[in-house]
Chains A and B, each alone.
Chain A
Amino acid sequence: MLINEGAMRRNRTVRRLGQVGLWLNPLVAYFFLWAPILVLVLFSFNSSRSVASFTGFTLKWYGNILNNVMGAESAFSTELMLNAFRNSLFVGSIATAISTVLGTMIALAMARGKFPGKGLIDGLLFLPVVIPEITQAISLAIFFKVVFDWFALISGERVFPGFHTIIAAHVTFNISYVAIVARARLADMNPRLEEAANDLGANPWRAFWRVTFPLILPGVISGALLAFTLSLDDFVITFFTSGVGTTTLPVFVYGLLKLTVTPEVNAVSTIMMVLSTLLIGISLAIQGRSASRV
C-alpha cells in the first residue's frame, strides 16, 4: 500500500503543477500579445520625451499633433496629418461601399445558388485572407502596371496609380471579409423563410428586400465595418499601390517613423488603434446581438 500512496502523492503533485501551468499559460500569452501595445499607449502619455522611464502623465503629445508641433527640431504638419486622415476615410468609404455590395452578392450566390465549381470558388474566397499581404501587394502593383502598360499601348493614354488603384486594391481584399461574415449570417438563416415569402406571393426580388436583406443586414453591416477598419489600417498594400498625393494615415505614420520615434507618433498610433478597436467592437456587438434572433 505504501507504493500506492507514493504514486498517489506523485499524481497529486503533477496535477497541481498542471493546474498552475494552465493558469499561467494565458497570462504569458496575453503578455506577449498586449505588452508592446501597452508600451505604445503608455508612452503616448509619458511626460518625458525619452522612453527610458515613465516620468508622469501628460496629454502634451496629443496637443502637439493638433498644433503643428512635433519633435524637438522638426515642425509637424497637422494639416498633412488631417489630409492623410481624410484620404484614409475617402479610400475606406469607397472601398467599403463597393466591397460590401460585391461581397454580399457573392455570399448570396454561395449560400443559395447551385452552379458548377462552387466548391472551388468557395475556397478561393478565403485566399485573400490567408495569402501574405506583401505577396498581394506586389501582385497588385505588377498587375496595375501591366494593365496600365496595355492601356497605354492601345489608347496612347498613360494612367498613373492613385486613389483608384488603392481603392481597387482594398476592394480585392475587403470582398472576402464581407462575403465571409455575410455568408455566416446567411447560413444561420432558415431557408424556409424565403420559401414562406414566395409562398405568400412575394417574387424573389421582393422576398429578398422584405425578408432576406433585413435578416442578413446585421451581417452586412458588421462585414462593412470590418472592411472599413481593414481599409483604414492597411499599410502594405496601400504603400505598393499608391501614387502621388494619396498618402493615407498609416503611410503618413510610416513617414514620421523614418525621422525618429517620437511620443507624437505614439499618440497618433494610439488614436488609430482606439478608432479601429471601436469599429471592430461595434461590428462584433452587431453580430453577437442579432445572432440569437434568427
Chain B
Amino acid sequence: MTTFDVELVDIVKEFESRGSTVRAVDRVSVEIADGEFFALLGPSGCGKTTTLRLIAGFEQPTSGRVLIRGRAMEGIPAYHRPVNTVFQDYALFPHLTVEQNIMFGLQMEGVDKKAARKRANEALEQVRLPGVGARKPHQLSGGQQQRVALARALVKQPAVLLLDEPLGALDLKLRKNMQFELKALQRDVGITFIYVTHDQEEAITMADRIAVMNEGLMLQVGTPKEIYEHPETHFVADFIGETNFIPGMLLERSGDGYGRVKLANGPVIRAQLSHALGSAARAVTVAIRPERIGIAAASASLDSDEDGLTVLEAVLAGSQYIGTDTRYRLALGEGVELVARLQNVSNRDSAAYEVGQPVKVYWGESSATVLDQ
C-alpha cells in the first residue's frame, strides 16, 4: 500500500520526428503525495506538458510506469483514469452551454440529468461564477472561461487535477488574483494538483513542491525554498530567479559540506557544496543570489573570518534604479562581474554609491553555492 497519489517510475517518452527520435521525457521518476500542490516548472519544450499528458493518458510512455493511487495505468485509457485536466486553452465545448459543459463529465458517469445539473451549479458557485450556466463559452471572458474549465474538471471529484498552464492566457493582474484563488481552492477541496507552468514566480508562490525540468530531465525536486536557496545545477539556479555565476577551481572539500574555491579573479572563498556536485569536480561555478550580496564603503572594516562572511574588493561599475530596489553592477577584476540588488529602504539608498567608486562586497558563506560548471 502506498501513500502516494501519483508515482512516475523511470518514465521515458520518445517521439518520432522526421526520421529521428526525440526524447521528450527522459528517465523521470517522482512521487507525488495525496493533497499535494505539485508544480512542473521549466521552459517550453522541456517535457513538462508531455509528462502531464502521460499522467492524463493522452500519451503512452515509451518505457516506465505511471501509477495513480498505487494502480498501474498501463493500458488504461484517459476516459478510465481518475484524473481530470484543465487545458491551457480551456477546451470548453463551444456547442454546449456552460452548464452542459460541466454536466458532461457527470453524465458520462451515468449521473442523471437532474443531479448533474445540481452539481454543476454547485461547482459554478465553488469557482465563484454563479448564474452563467445558460451562457455559451464564447460569451464569457478569458478569466470566466478559465473558471468554467476548472469547475468542469473539479465536479468529477478526481483523485488528481492536472493543470496545463491554466493561467497562461490571462493578463498579469487577473493571473495574480487567480493564483491566490487556485491555491485557496486546492486547500479547500484537498485534491492533488499537478500544475504545469513556465512561470517560476507562479510555481514558487503556489506549489508545495516544484520539479524543475529541462530537456526532458527532471533536474531537481524540492520545496520552493529548497529550489530557490539550494539549486543543485547551473540550469536550476539560472532558471529560478536571478543568479550571479562566478567560475572557479575547487581546491578542497571540508567535511561540513563546504569547500574552498579559488575564484577566476583570484581570491579564495568558502562556499556550500551542492548535493549534486560531481565527486571529482575541479572546475566549478559559484552561484550567489543578487539580494544576498551586501555593499559597504571601501574603508569599512569587515572581517572575513568572522561569522563566515566572505568579503571581496570591487569597483562599482554601474547602477540601475528599478523602483523597489537598486541594482548595482560590481567589477571584481579579470572580467568577473556581480549584480547586487539592494532594497530602497529610504530615499538616499539609490544614490548611496558613485559609479567608479571602490567598494567592498560581502555575503554569508551559506549564500554561495558551488555547482558543476
Contacts and interface: CB of A to CB of B under 8 A. Distances in A.
Contacts of B104: 197, 200, 202, 210
Contact of B78 (A190, A193, A198, A215): A198
Given A201-B109, A293-B138, A196 B93 contact: yes
Interface in A199-236: 199-203, 206-207, 210-211, 214-215
Contact of B156 (A197, A201, A293, A294): A201
A199 B85 contact: yes
Given A200-B104, A201-B109, A201-B156, A192 B87 contact: yes
Interface in B75-91: 77-80, 83-85, 87, 89, 91
A206 B94 contact: no
A81 to B, nearest CB: 42
A79 interface: no
Number of chain A interface residues as a range: 20 to 34
A195 interface: yes
Interface string B131-149: 0000000100000000000
Nearest to A217: B95
A202 to B, nearest CB: 5
B108 interface: yes
B79 A203 contact: yes
Contacts of B108: 200-202, 206
A212 to B, nearest CB: 10
Most A-side CB within 10 Å, residue of B57, B108, B138, B152? B108
A206 B104 CA distance: 11
Contacts of A193: 91, 93-94
Contacts, number: 65
Given A201-B79, A206-B108, A196 B85 contact: yes
B131 to A, nearest CB: 23
Contacts of B87: 192, 195-196
B113 to A, nearest CB: 14
What's the dominant secondary structure at chain A's contact region?
helix
Nearest to A210: B104
Given A190-B89, A203-B79, A293-B94, A198 B105 contact: no
Contact of B105 (A195, A201, A293, A294): A201
A211 B92 CA distance: 10
Given A198-B79, A201-B109, A211-B95, 12 more contacts: A195-B78, A195-B87, A195-B91, A198-B57, A198-B58, A200-B104, A201-B79, A201-B105, A215-B94, A293-B94, A293-B95, A293-B138
23 contacts: A190-B91, A192-B89, A193-B93, A193-B94, A195-B56, A195-B58, A198-B58, A198-B77, A198-B78, A199-B56, A199-B78, A199-B83, A199-B84, A199-B153, A200-B105, A201-B109, A202-B104, A203-B77, A203-B79, A207-B79, A214-B95, A293-B94, A293-B138
Interface of B: 56-58, 77-80, 83-85, 87, 89, 91-95, 104-105, 108-109, 138, 152-153, 156
